[in-house]
Amino acid sequence: MRTLRGVTAAGAAIVLGVVVAPWAHADDMALNGRFLATSNGDFATTNDVFRDIPSVRSVWTIAMTCTNVLTCSGTVNSDIGWSAEITTTNGEYVVKRELPNWQPCADGTGRTVTGHQRYRFFPVGIDGSVLPGSRTFGGFDTTSGESGGCSLNDKMEIHMPLRLEKLD
């Protein structure tokens, strides 16, 4: 096995497939404060078919800490009444939450399926490219049901573009 000499931490991260700005510090990666979150229903897809659905806007209060530039975690509190954990994965921020009774079954039984919502986002510039240190974030809001949850081997999935803007 050969070793690399003289490779910076950022260079090693790029070799490993992780994009980290060479000037990034753990404190730079932690999101803290209030953010306007917009899931844009104008460009939503339902099971890969474009379908105009209502957009969702809310204010998120995020509190995070980082142990290094790759490992951060914390909590998101939304002004529409939910809280969830936020983590970093491969340079992206990820928020996952469960939506009980999200999808009613069409079989008339009154059963419902839990939705699994996942927000993924990263700092972006005005052109949408990744821009570490930006106060604007772009990404995706995806909610999916459970395959087989309504006795069908199919699941509902809604996918919307997501934008976060730092408010303070």
pLDDT tens per residue, range 102-111: 988 887 888 8
Q: Where are any strands of DSSP class E within the chain?
A: 33-39, 45-46, 49-50, 56-68, 71-78, 83-89, 92-104, 112-123, 136-144, 157-166
Joined tokens for residue 158: 């809604």
**pLDDT of amino acid 91:** 82
**pLDDT of amino acid 48:** 87
Radius of gyration of the chain (CA): 19
Q: Domain range spanning residue 83?
A: 25-166
Please check whether residue 11 lies inside any domain of the structure.
no
Is the pLDDT at 16 greater than 80? The verdict is no
Is the pLDDT at 27 greater than 70? The verdict is no
Please check whether residue 46 lies inside any domain of the structure.
yes
CA–CA dist 11, 20 (Å, integer): 9
Paired sense of beta strands 33-39 and 45-46, if any: unpaired
Please check whether residue 146 lies inside any domain of the structure.
yes
Please check whether residue 158 lies inside any domain of the structure.
yes
How does pLDDT run across 102-139, given as a tens digit for each residue? 988 887 888 899 999 999 999 999 998 889 889 999 99
Please check whether residue 8 lies inside any domain of the structure.
no
Rounded to two decimals, the pTM is 0.80
Of the listed ranges 23-32, 83-92, 141-150, the one predicted with least confidence: 23-32
3-state secondary structure of 15: helix
Angle at 60 between CA 57 and CA 63, to 5 degrees: 165
Mean pLDDT of 142-153: 82
Please check whether residue 6 lies inside any domain of the structure.
no
Is the pLDDT at 150 greater than 90? The verdict is no
What is the 3-state composition of the chain as percent helix, strand, coil, each rounded to the nearest 5? 10, 50, 40
Domains identified in the chain, total number? 1
Contact 103, 113 (CB under 8 A): yes
Is the pLDDT at 158 greater than 70? The verdict is yes
Please check whether residue 113 lies inside any domain of the structure.
yes
Contact 22, 132 (CB under 8 A): no
Task: Give the confidence band of 47 by pLDDT, cuts at 50, 70, 90.
Answer: confident
Please check whether residue 5 lies inside any domain of the structure.
no
How does pLDDT run across 70-112, given as a tens digit for each residue? 889 999 999 999 999 999 988 899 999 999 999 888 878 888 9
**pLDDT of amino acid 128:** 85
